[in-house]
Structure 1
Amino acid sequence: MGIWSKKSITALRAEAESSEGGLKRTLGALNLTMLGIGAIIGAGIFVLTGTAAANFAGPGVSLSFVLAGLACLFAGLCYAEFASMIPIAGSAYTYSYATMGEGVAWFIGWNLVLEYLFAASTVAVGWSGYFSAMLNEAGVHVPAAFASAPLTVINGHEVVRAFTCVDGTGTTLVDALTKAAYATREACTAAGGSPVEGLINLPAVALILALTFLLVRGVQESATFNNIVVAIKMIIVLLVIGFGFMYVNPENWTPFIPEMVTNPDGSTKYGMSGVLRAAPVVFFSYIGFDAVSTAAQEAKNPQRDLPIGMIASLLICTVLYILMSLVMTGLAPYTALGVPHPVSAALEAVPQLKWLEYLVNIGAVAGLSSVVLVMLMGQPRIFYTMSRDGLLPKVFAKVHPVYQTPAASTWIVGIIAIIIAGFFPLGLLGELVSGGTLAAFATVCIGVWVLRVRSPELERPFKTPLVPLVPLLGAGATLYMMYQLPGLTWALLGVWTAIGMTTYFVYGMRNSTIGKQEAGKR
């Protein structure tokens, strides 16, 4: 009983089929695929591609995307089997509940908070930077004090008062090539600028507030907005790929895998080891594809449409990542791409493509906004499912009587995301988000194998091929990624887990619906 209690697959299916007082089923395979693309294509294609090429793999970064894409596909195939069997909004939390018990399910649900809630805040801050830059180019300056949080992180762990270096007109001074030219107040003053301390990241707050309101109004309205935004960024990405290939200099691809170099600290980069090392870096570009499974109870035909949405979005995005990495490393030397805006840096190398740079900024703004939308959509639905299981207060399970969305949970998540994005430093959260996500991926992969052994007779509308090979490869790949995380991240994950398990033992276990049912039978 208790921590080892499992939910019946039959009961879960019955819950999924019951629409009374539940979420509204409006999403088809196309909407779910677009949700997946909306979650995946964001900072990864506009930032990580250049970073991984310059620092690790050179032009061979396209091979890193192949490796990361395969690892993610293994996990995606496992997600697809569970999603077709158990079309519940809880995603990996629900799958763990059915295979490994309530304690593991809580652990995964708690880690998914890292993936969705903290990732939404982190990406919103990135969106704020691109959006403010676009406004600056148009002659509209966001006051520096209202474009950044009051705190930031330096040296990977030290929290300090944040500031922005501006010139006499209030325009932010930026040196994309060095990134450190205005890193201290003394350097800012020496460059003729003035340090302005941050008060609140207002653009990030405004974005989260608007998207939260949209999500409360209805999932179909949110999906329509997401479809439009995804179409915009897809068109821009395809323009860069299409026109970029016309100006590729093949000499920039030679050698395709640069000779390995030893750094002063003894570490290495480039060579085949660099390609392998870049794979975990670019793997994080795919974080969010599992958000498709959180829309299970709003899918018209979840047994068919959920696997299509997850697998199709993964395949489409992997192809786009590979093509984009080939174009970028073909337009400019890979050593020039280690900047905050690598796509623009690649385009600057070809004067004929200058006209694409502003479109790339639009694509980045569109891409990041859709990522925030999908993250803010996923977290309330996991809370909704956990609340219906008694592990969270009932307020999280309240459905709006008109819009049929988890409105209370959506507003709670939105307000917390606003506070995090507007006021707190996010430098410590990036790898913490990744750790929580990878734990969920590995658990789902292992769960598929466990359920195949324990309950082979269950109906599976979609079956993961080559079990146990595919689940083992998926779990092995994600655990390898976790192994690469630094010690500080592991320490923070330990603290986060301790807080979560304490909450479970104090509240969740005592209020668990299945726990009360089992106690009543004794």
Structure 2
Amino acid sequence: MGIWSKKSITALRAEANSSEGGLKRTLGALNLTLLGIGAIIGAGIFVLTGTAAANFAGPGVSLSFVLAGLACLFAGLCYAEFASMIPIAGSAYTYSYATMGEGVAWFIGWNLVLEYLFAAATVSVGWSGYFGALLSEVGIHIPAAFASAPLTVVNGHQVVRAFTCVDPATGGALMDAATHVAYVAREACTAAGGNVVDGLINLPAVVLILGLTMLLVRGVQESATFNNVVVAIKMTVVLLVIGFGFMYINRENWTPFIPDMVTNPDGSTKYGMSGVLRAAPVVFFSYIGFDAVSTAAQEAKNPQRDLPIGMIASLLICTVLYILMSLVMTGLAPYQQLGVPHPVSVAIGAVPQLKWLEYLVNIGATAGLSSVVLVMLMGQPRIFYTMSRDGLLPKIFSRVHPVYQTPAASTWIVGAIAIVIAGFFPLGLLGELVSGGTLAAFATVCIGVWVLRTRSPELERPFRTPLVPLVPILGAGATLYMMFQLPKLTWTLLGAWTAIGMTTYFLYGMRNSTIGKQEASRR
């Protein structure tokens, strides 16, 4: 059978219930819900809301969040059914193994590396920028050479030597500290009276990943406690902005709520109802990470009940917060002013009475991004752990720490790779690549629910996706639509990534597959 071999649901459930050499079950529904919120609330609420409003939808961006939230909810309902049936740490990889075979499972597992490992590195760089800005506000400047990687990307595709333009008088960067946008032209830096300092390593990002990796090795309960504290901080900041922001909303900024469509010089259009629809794929990426809850399946106390609660509750809570935040931001400031990397600061800065919130927003953004990195770094080792137990990866990835009962070796390997990527390599090309891998996993899970309902309707399902096949079809259709919005370069990189992954599978995974060896022994 090989590439089409499937794992039986019975065997997977037995594996989930086995405590021998397994992970420690310590997480309840609240912990899982907060893990989901920790993964979702991050760069999306602090950056993408303003970008989508200014460039596509205007105040109607709140409707874009409704549409994207519905699409994500369809996928979340499908994830919840699988998670309750098969409470294994492998997430979409395991679900694909049970429904469409080993080859598809490997393909999804390989793509999940993009969602978790590369996303952790990418978000850690964003955290580094906010952390540097936070320190600058109290007069502390990280040396420029140790605040950025040696390489960067300009114009979306060109890799160049990275540098920072430093003010010789203050030692700070000659840039807007809130936007973290460095000069592209070295001549412009010199003309402005600055000194060019080449980047050596993004040290704050490295330190963040190292610290979180050590925490994750120590134990999932300790990591969940840290995440709970961080989520509380950023949720407090978000609720403060929403609560106080609504008191100073200028309703004229909401008029018209959906601006008239405008034709750009290149022939493309923005605003209008088409702009609301176009913004939906943009803000959809704000939700990436909710499926990380399913990677903690083997550490949940009651996975059949708590996993669906964690995923659906975190999605609903974050959708409501996104909608409210987008209404507040477009109500406080004209939407045309929000197309910057720090739109929340711009929005509250438009109202003098809210000036006191700006420092808290930086704290909230720093906390928000750190929890995203934590959850991503937690998810990837657990997927590798499951793939290793299936024989598709070397056994080192499934070693469990004898004291902490965490996949310690896999966690250290993932942390080390993330450190190298975040510290030394350009990440400009990876953002949409991360999205492509994630969307492929979402679509596969939706299709898998429909396939398994048709093939094995008699199986016990503690949580049942409603309106099958309508919900899986809508979920798969929505996520595939998002994928088709990706540019050609991303598709080329996805093709290359897939080719590397499938070559690895045929050279190692297929030959060492546990289920493959079992089938060969029976023949």
TM-score w.r.t. the length of structure 2 is: 0.99
Whole-angstrom distance in 2 between the partners of 1:170 and 1:212: 31
CA contact (8 A) 2:8 2:98 kept: yes
Q: Within the alignment, does 1:430 sit opposite 2:435 as a pair?
A: no
What are the within-5 Å matches in structure 2 for residues 138-149 of structure 1? 138-149=138-149
Matches within 5 A, 1:386-465: 386-465=387-466
Structure 2 residue 329 is the aligned partner of structure 1 residue 328? yes
Partner letter of residue 39 of structure 2?
Answer: A
1:75 aligns with 75
Which amino acid is 1:283 matched to? F
SS in 2 for 1:21: coil
For the residue of structure 1 that corresponds to 2:160, the secondary structure is strand
Q: Which residue identity does 1:41 align to in structure 2?
A: I
Paired with 1:39 and 1:387, the residues of 2 have a C-alpha distance of 25
> 2:262 maps to what in 1?
261
Give the letter aligned to residue 94 of structure 1. T
Preserved CA contact (<8 Å) 1:332 1:349: yes
Distance 2:327 2:92 in 1: 34
SS of 2:401's partner is: coil
8 A Cα contact 2:145 2:197, kept in partner: yes
Looking at structure 2, the residues matched to 302 and 219 of structure 1 have their Cα atoms a distance apart, in angstroms, of 15
- In structure 2, runs of 5+ residues without a counterpart are none
What is the RMSD of the two structures over their aligned residues, measured on CA atoms? Answer: 1.0
Task: Give percent identity, aligned residues only.
Answer: 90
- Equivalent pairs counted in the alignment come to 522
Is 1:54 matched up with 2:54? yes
Q: Distance in 1 between matches of 2:277 and 2:161?
A: 37
TM-superposition CA deviations, 1:13-50 (whole Å, max 9, x none):
00000011100000000000000000000000000000
Give CA deviations for 1:384-432 in whole Å, capped at 9, x if unaligned: 0000000000000000000000000000000000000000000000000
Note the C-alpha offset of 1:202.
0.1
* Alpha-carbon shift at residue 179 of structure 1 (Å): 7.9
> 1:180 offset after TM fit, Å?
7.0
Q: 1:144 to 1:178 in 2, by over 3 A?
A: closer
Residues 210 and 179 of structure 1, relative CA distance in 2, 3 Å threshold: closer
Query: Residue 56 of structure 2 contacts residue 279 of structure 2 at CA under 8 Å; is this kept in 1?
Result: yes
Do the aligned residues in 2 keep the contact of 1:144 with 1:164 (CA within 8 Å)?
yes
Instruction: Name stretches of at least 5 consecutive residues in structure 1 with no aligned partner.
Output: none
Residue type of the alignment partner of 1:67: L
Q: TM-score, length-normalised on structure 1? A: 0.99
Task: Give the structure 2 partner of residue 157 of structure 1.
Answer: 157
Q: CA deviation at 1:189?
A: 1.3
Contact 1:176–1:339 under 8 Å retained in 2? no
Alpha-carbon distance in structure 2 between the residues aligned to 1:45 and 1:338: 13
Distance 1:321 1:518, change over 3 A: same
1:177 to partner: Cα distance: 9.6
Inter-CA distance 381–179: structure 2 relative to 1 (3 Å threshold): closer
Counterparts of 2:360 and 2:513, CA distance in 1: 51
Q: Which residue of 2 aligns with 1:241?
A: 242
1:353-392 equivalence runs, <5 A: 353-392=354-393
Equivalent residue runs for 1:288-367 within 5 Å: 288-367=289-368
- Could you say which residue in structure 1 is the equivalent of 2:218? 217
Please tell me the residue identity of whatever aligns with 2:3: I
The answer to whether the 8 Å contact 2:127/2:370 transfers is yes
2:44 equivalent in structure 1: 44
2:205–2:419: 8 Å Cα contact kept in structure 1? yes
Distance in 1 separating the partners of 2:43 and 2:149: 20
Q: Per-residue displacement from partner, 1:281-301 (whole Å, max 9, x unpaired)?
A: 000000000000000000000
The alpha-carbon deviation at position 191 of structure 1 amounts to: 1.5
Amino acid paired to 2:324: L
Answering whether residue 13 of structure 2 is matched by residue 9 of structure 1, we say no
Task: Tell me the distance in 1 between the aligned counterparts of 2:490 and 2:219.
Answer: 36
Query: Deviation per CA, 1:174-226, whole angstroms, max 9, x where unpaired?
Result: 24799878321111111121121100000000000000000000000000000
> Structure 1: which 4+ aligned runs deviate by more than 6 Å?
176-181
Measured in 1, the distance between the counterparts of 2:422 and 2:181 equals: 23
Q: Is residue 112 of structure 2 the alignment partner of residue 98 of structure 1?
A: no
Which has the larger displacement, 385-394 or 185-194?
185-194
